Chain A
Amino acid sequence: MSIELIGKHEKDKRANRDGYVAAMMELMEADNKVCHVDCDLESCINTTKLAKAFPTRTINVGIAEQNGMGVAAGMAATGLTVFMHSFGCFSSRRAFDQAFLAVAYEECPVHIVGSDPGVTAAFNGGTHMPFEDCGLYMNVPNMVIVDTADYAQTYSLTKKLAACDKPSYQRLIRKGFVTVYADGSDFEIGKGYELKEGNDVAIIASGIMVDEALKANEILAAEGIAARVIDMPTWKPLDEEIILKAAAECGCIVTAENHQVATGLGSAISNLLIKNSPVPQEFIGIQNRFGQVGPQDFLQKEYNLLAEDIVAAAKKAISRK
């Protein structure tokens, strides 16, 4: 099974979190070792469904993320496959020492889920807006880091993570957002996907920025610029092959992420390029700022996370070739 691009920029009527829940329902049904740990946020991502269907394997630790992370690790040590959820700010910053030691250092491979990544935290505002969640986990050896682009990708990669013996951090957008892929699309951990061909510039994006990159491709095409678009749902380990191929064939790169550029996808890609195939690179993402409250469309404009920003960056990158 492969992937099927839709990419019509249409809102998905379903909430993205339900892609996670649908995958978890199937995983927990099929394997009685699969568990979900939550921190009083079951109602936010609809894992109340899991709690109803599998009450003994859905553990709510209350508003205590540090304990939740340790509990998840202890459960994993007894042979269980454990997913542990809180808002991204809490499942990264708040419980980072617990994730670092109890999950990663001692090899209790919990799959950590952080919801409301970046500007999707919207009305919860700056306190709840993780621009650095993946960056923290980028520092942790062996950690798998995933930022999914839509419902189908969330569903598919959640299932792949359950079978992964490494600890992981998965960003989970809660609400409905744009449909990029057809249902049934099948993704692999550690693999990037070329969605649009083009050799003038390569745009590498993940999460909510994939749809913006597809829009940017259309704007650039109208101006006669052929932009390759690559979706990179896995930030770590990186699909080095597809990046180096893009650098060689396009000669410049734009990275687009809903995250601090200093510690995220763009910086990981620049680390790879500088050692192997240095080409001009422009970084779309959060530029050393904190989050703030507001609707997501306002925040995407405020932090320059829109297709028009990618277009400008692409032209700049091309000019630097």
Chain B
Amino acid sequence: MDKQLKHDLQVFAAEIRLQTLKIIGSRGFGHVGGSMSMADTMAVLYGEVMNVDPKNPKKEDRDWFVLSKGHGGPVMYATLGLKGYYPVEDAYQLNQPNTKFPSHTDRLQTIGVDMTTGSLGQGASEAVGAAIGKKVQGIPGTVYCAVGDGECDEGQVWEAAQCAAHYKLDNFVLFVDNNKRQLDGDVSQVMSHGKGISAKLDAFGFNVIELADGNDVEQIYDAVMAAKEVKGQPTAIILNTVKGKGAIFAESSGAHSSQPSQEQWDEAIAVSQAALDEIKNA
């Protein structure tokens, strides 16, 4: 991977983290954990990989991104704002009355959001449908979809997976945010995944790429580039991430949602700002 590109994506990921914290911090509570774990993937997708145009968000041949783990909305809003779909500060209206930035991503509310999600498992099917829709119409572009490891408790994820493999959707890439935590605790304790999500998706017919570090932009970028070369098969990229990565109060607890004190917010945002400055100057 090009060194400058890697640096740029690391900076973008740090900016996304900082803005994600500011967005959730504007309301004081929210889904910090599953937002922060996805920042690096969002940086790779919107910073380099995806064919999108913030000035023409509905252009037909765009790549799609479906955040099936819709409670990660804030990381999406930070990314789209920084990408130029709207001023990122607009998203500081998160969950306020009449907001365009609801807790879960909504395609009718927020510019740049491709599908509405929130009822877990459903985004996976919708993304598969979008990929089929592109194939049926001969429209270029890839549909990227992110599910959580907790979300993989939902049977619908697996219905969608078997459908993607059956229809040989090589224009479909599934990310699994394998952050090992769900609302009630460790995934291994609440509802474990047998031989593992990688093994399951392999059995379902996916080309599976498991990353040692799902918070490393280089590993993510290389995996997406490899996925693009695969024909006749969907690809799953298993992101071994840290829930709450970069949010000091959430990273330590692995919490699904957080409501820290104002002092803790101030501290976390300051630390995140310092992390951004450090990467910029590296």
With A70-B160, A71-B163, A79-B137 in contact, do A59 and B122 touch (Cβ < 8 Å)? no
Contact B163 A67 (CB under 8 A): yes
Interface residues of A in 174-233 (CB under 8 A from B): none
Cβ-based interface call for A106 (8 A): yes
Q: Range of interface residues on chain B?
A: 20 to 34
Q: Determine, out of A96-104, A138-146, A271-279, A304-312, the stretch whose residues face the partner at the interface.
A: A96-104
Residues of A within 8 A of B131 (CB): 74
Tell me whether chain A's interface is mostly helix, strand or loop, or mixed.
helix
A94 to chain B, nearest CB (A): 11
Interface residues of A in 57-83 (CB under 8 A from B): 57, 59, 61-62, 64, 66-80
Contact A78 B128 (CB under 8 A): no
Interchain CB contact (< 8 A) of A80 among B122, B127, B136, B166: B136
Counting chain A CB atoms within 10 Å of each CB, the highest count among B107, B124, B130 belongs to B130
B74 to chain A, nearest CB (A): 19
CA distance A214 to B130 in the complex (A): 46
Please count the residue pairs between chain A and chain B whose beta carbons lie under 8 angstroms apart in the complex. 105
Cβ-based interface call for A56 (8 A): yes
0/1 string, B120-151, CB within 8 A of A gives 1: 01101111111111111101000000000000
Q: Determine, out of B9-17, B85-93, B108-116, B259-267, the stretch whose residues face the partner at the interface.
A: B108-116
Contact A78 B125 (CB under 8 A): no
Interchain CB contact (< 8 A) of B162 among A59, A64, A76: A64
A69 to chain B, nearest CB (A): 7
With A64-B163, A78-B139 in contact, do A69 and B130 touch (Cβ < 8 Å)? no
Interface residues of B in 70-111 (CB under 8 A from A): 106-108
0/1 string, A30-67, CB within 8 A of B gives 1: 00010100000000000000000000110101101011
Residues of B within 8 A of A97 (CB): 119, 122
Interchain CB contact (< 8 A) of A75 among B116, B119, B124, B136: B136
CA distance A106 to B109 in the complex (A): 10
Interchain CB contact (< 8 A) of B129 among A33, A57, A74, A105: A74
Contact A101 B136 (CB under 8 A): no
Closest B residue by C-beta to A32: B137
CA distance A59 to B135 in the complex (A): 12
Cβ-based interface call for A18 (8 A): no
Chain B contacts to A: CB under 8 angstroms:
60, 106-108, 114-116, 118-119, 121-122, 124-137, 139, 155-156, 159-160, 162-163, 166-167
Q: Which 9 A-B pairs have the closest CB atoms?
A: A74-B129, A70-B125, A78-B133, A67-B159, A106-B116, A71-B129, A74-B126, A75-B133, A74-B130
Can you name 7 extra interface pairs (CB under 8 A) apart from A67-B125, A102-B125?
A61-B159, A61-B163, A66-B125, A67-B160, A69-B125, A74-B127, A102-B122
20 pairs, A vs B, C-beta closer than 8 Å: A57-B136, A59-B167, A61-B159, A62-B162, A62-B166, A67-B159, A68-B125, A70-B122, A70-B128, A71-B126, A73-B125, A74-B127, A74-B128, A74-B133, A75-B129, A75-B136, A77-B130, A78-B133, A78-B134, A106-B108
